[in-house]
Copies of this chain bind each other. A is one copy, B any other.
Amino acid sequence: MAVYTDISEDDLKRFLAAYEVGELTSYKGIAEGVENSNFLLHTTTGAFILTLYEKRVDPGDLPFFLGLMQHLADRGLNCPLPLARTDGALLGTLSGRPAAMITFLEGMWLRKPEAAHCREVGRALAEMHVAGEGFALSRENALSVSGWRPLWDKAKDRADEVQPGVAAEIAAELDHLEANWPSDLPAGVIHADLFPDNVFFLGENLSGLIDFYFACNDLLAYDVSICLNAWCFEKDGAFNMTKGMALLSGYQSVRPLTAGEIAALPLLARGSALRFFLTRLYDWLTTPAGALVVKKDPLEYLRKLQFHRSVNTALEYGLTISEPDA
């Protein structure tokens, strides 16, 4: 949950004067996102999300994030649209922080997604990859292969606190991934954090994608591998091939994976499992004991990583190979 900065109604009214959103009738801090402060606003013209960007977000990245949402929405993707101020800017200042007004997207994220939802997610991810083409700005992925070792160096000495033997296993894994990470696969703008809480549904229909604050330029299939990790494992740790098949076929119904992407998928999935293992491990080791933040178990991702290491081909994820000339 996240409301790090309270705002006064006077400051808010001054801030809103630069937008054409009608009269403010209520605002509530909401428990959404972990990096920023978010408020749900009602005005005489509708509902909006107001986001105050807190310290963990680099202000230099905001034009990329907001511009990307605008670019994607312009191309028909269902995602929040940053409102332009009357001076044309997408970004203002509120309570000393960069702040943006964003359209409110109705929908709910699924605590227990089923295979049919995974298919919708795969399709939406591919639609995002296609819609992202031509976006003028770019942003390096700080949490891709080159970013893992610096993160690991900060945590490795205490990694065995989580489970004995982890330090050696991850060191070997990191060596392997660095040595074998592909560089010749299709790249573009990826979401990089498309977990269930960032995908809204209305009934069985996907109503939109949110939270583009990890978006960056990277291998498109790496984004697919993140979704395999985020959507296709059961609570008991087992990979659900029905969900994997649904997610991959949904993706391929919009953008077929290349032979190179398919071959690399198990390795990419090891990489994305390692990425979430590392950030969770770091948070686990550095979050004070009394804090109210829910610590996410890094071992969940170690187990996923181990599963991907056992995978020989993407067929084991449920991939259905379509005829090349079909």
Contact = CB atoms under 8 A, between A and B. Distances in A.
Given A8-B112, A40-B40, A112-B10, A107 B291 contact: no
A1 B31 contact: yes
Nearest to A200: B26
A111 B10 contact: yes
Q: Helix, strand, loop or mixed for chain A's interface? A: loop
Interface string A1-27: 101001011100000000000001111
Protomer copies: 2
A136 interface: no
A105 B42 CA distance: 11
A154 interface: no
Interface in A190-219: 200, 202
A40 B47 CA distance: 12
A290 interface: yes
Contact of A30 (B6, B31, B289): B31
A32 interface: yes
Contact of A26 (B6, B9, B31, B106): B106
Nearest to A10: B112
A25 B291 contact: no
Contacts of A200: 26
A116 to B, nearest CB: 14
Given A42-B47, A289-B290, A292-B291, A1 B26 contact: no
Contacts of A289: 290
Interface string A62-104: 0000000000000000000000000000000000000000001
B24 A108 contact: yes
A170 interface: no
Q: Sort A-B residue pairs by CB-CB distance and give the 9 closest, nearest first.
A: A290-B290, A29-B31, A8-B111, A25-B106, A28-B30, A3-B31, A292-B292, A288-B290, A9-B108
7 contacts: A10-B111, A29-B31, A30-B40, A42-B106, A290-B290, A291-B291, A292-B292
